[in-house]
């Protein structure tokens, strides 16, 4: 992964003709240089850049994205702006790793799902939130498909345990919901 982090406020080595700076929401903001074309994979940033001069110094603060997550967002867009991701089938019929490229497998299962251990998925969830906020459709599809693959075949209790979700239904409410949705268990 290219190291695009820069010292906050030090733009002397940034070529603003080809790049912009994205700033995280950390207490001490982390700034990354990213290629303009790669950044345009984000619908939000693409819309912002349409109103700017192409050589203007652009630093975009991202109020909903921390530095750790932003590093992975940049890694994704810098790879995929020239290597279009294949569409992921919906609904996902098998495992996500069977329908994605090797680079995306490595991206997902090295850090986002720490060492392939689906219980260690905090960064994956953060990347889903960032991809949604930044409107990066391909990244959102990939990360959501990874979650879909993680929950496929699991009981509601196993899913709650995996994501630390408290069950706030009474046994009666739970039985009613199961009865109303029995058709999806049969499918």
> Does the structure show a pLDDT above 90 at 73?
yes
Coil, helix or strand at residue 22:
strand
Mean of all residue pLDDT scores within the chain = 87
> Does the structure show a pLDDT above 50 at 91?
yes
pLDDT band per the 50, 70, 90 thresholds, residue 111: confident
Average pLDDT in the 5-9 region?
A: 76
Residue ranges of E strands in 2-97: 5-6, 19-23, 31-35, 59-61
Q: Tens digits of per-residue pLDDT, 153-164?
A: 888 888 888 888
> Does the structure show a pLDDT above 50 at 1?
no
CB 75 within 8 Å of CB 133: no
Q: Tens digits of per-residue pLDDT, 117-162?
A: 777 788 999 999 999 999 999 999 999 999 998 888 888 888 888 8
DSSP 108: I
| pTM as predicted | 0.84
Which residues are CB-neighbours of 103 under 8 A, at least 6 positions away? 79, 83
CA–CA separation, 139 vs 127, rounded Å? 8
Choose among 150, 25, 157: nearest CA to 8. 25
88-119 burial, b at 16+ Cβ within 10 Å, e below that, comes to: beeebeeebeebbeeebeebbbebbbeeeebe
């Amino acid at each position: 992964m290219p190291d695009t982090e820069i010292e906050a406020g030090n733009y002397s080595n940034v070529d603003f003709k080809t790049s912009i700076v994205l700033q995280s929401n950390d207490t001490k903001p982390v700034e990354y240089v990213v290629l303009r074309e790669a950044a345009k994979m984000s619908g939000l940033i693409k819309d912002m850049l349409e109103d700017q001069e192409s050589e203007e110094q652009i630093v975009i603060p991202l109020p909903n994205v921390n530095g750790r997550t932003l590093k992975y967002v940049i890694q994704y867009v810098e790879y995929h702006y020239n290597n279009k991701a294949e569409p992921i089938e919906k609904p996902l019929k098998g495992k996500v790793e069977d329908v994605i490229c090797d680079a995306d497998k490595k991206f997902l299962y090295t850090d986002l799902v720490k060492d392939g251990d689906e219980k260690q998925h905090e960064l994956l969830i953060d990347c889903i939130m960032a991809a949604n906020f930044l409107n990066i459709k391909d990244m959102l599809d990939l990360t959501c498909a990874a979650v879909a693959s993680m929950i496929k075949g699991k009981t509601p209790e196993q899913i709650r345990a995996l994501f630390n979700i408290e069950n706030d239904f009474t046994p009666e409410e739970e039985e009613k919901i199961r009865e109303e949705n029995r058709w999806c268990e049969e499918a």
